[in-house]
Structure 1
């Protein structure tokens, strides 16, 4: 590889990794406009394994806006990011896939609207598919694979 190709790969990796972080921040902050802006026009998200929906970014953002009201405090921790470029056979470097593990602690809303005890915590793996567009890298697909959760009152669930 030439230095120019290596530098381009590093820059692409930083851009894609940055979008994963922007995804977490948008969800945690409830910025549904920013969330939708991370996706391509035909981008889709799938939260079914976590009890949610699958649909285009607008549909899913509306669902998240309603659902996340239950959790006024939330904080994604996304780790172990595995980035792969050009995963399609005809690709020329304009696609990427990221597999990343997550832990997501949240607090339920109290009757006064603020956070309450106890916490709800879940964890699993994200599968992100990215496409390079004229506006830069964007999410084409995001799938959540929830593997476990710890719910209030000691109720635990796992895959």
Structure 2
């Protein structure tokens, strides 16, 4: 591999990593327009393993906007990223696959009585598919594989004998 090819590969890895990071930030910030811009026009996402839906980026953004209103605080942590470049139409490096683990702590909306809002935490693995476009790397698919979740503990003060 020449130095030029090595440099191009490093630049692609950084660009792909940025898309994954931008994905997490868009979800955490509730920026659904930015979320949709990360996808190719035919890009899709599948959240069914986490109790969600599968659909186009537009459909998923609408579903996330509705369902994540329960959680005003969200913080995706996407780690252990494994990036692999693939071949498309004889051109090496036009597609990429990323497998990455996630931990996603979220806080429920506080009740009006001033009680502290409980936390909800889940974790699992993402499978991202990406395509190099004229506008840079874009997501063709996102598949969520939720592996675990921790629900809030029942409020001990509400438990009666």
In 1, Cα distance between equivalents of 2:60 and 2:119: 24
Match of 1:106 in 2: 106
Cα deviation for residue 110 of structure 1 reads 1.8
- Which ranges in structure 1 are unaligned for 5 or more consecutive residues? 155-159
Q: Give CA deviations for 1:9-52 in whole Å, capped at 9, x if unaligned.
A: 00000000000000000000000000000000000000000000
In 2, Cα distance between equivalents of 1:41 and 1:116: 41
Match of 2:159 in 1: none
Q: Give CA deviations for 1:50-79 in whole Å, capped at 9, x if unaligned.
A: 000000000000000001100000100000
TM-score by length of 2: 0.90
Match of 2:96 in 1: 96
Does the Cα contact within 8 Å between 2:88 and 2:94 map onto a contact in 1?
no
In 1, Cα distance between equivalents of 2:125 and 2:15: 20
Cα deviation for residue 93 of structure 1 reads 1.3
RMSD (CA atoms) = 1.7
Which structure is larger by alpha-carbon Rg, 1 or 2?
Answer: 2
Secondary structure of the residue aligned to 2:93 is coil
In 1, Cα distance between equivalents of 2:99 and 2:75: 19
Does the Cα contact within 8 Å between 1:108 and 1:115 map onto a contact in 2?
no
Secondary structure of the residue aligned to 2:117 is strand
**CA pair 115-37 structure 1, distance change in 2 beyond 3 A:** farther
In 1, Cα distance between equivalents of 2:115 and 2:61: 22
Residues 11-30 of structure 1 correspond to what in structure 2 (within 5 A)? 11-30=11-30
Match of 1:50 in 2: 50
Does the Cα contact within 8 Å between 2:45 and 2:54 map onto a contact in 1?
yes
Cα deviation for residue 147 of structure 1 reads 0.1
- Which ranges in structure 2 are unaligned for 5 or more consecutive residues? 155-161
Match of 1:66 in 2: 66
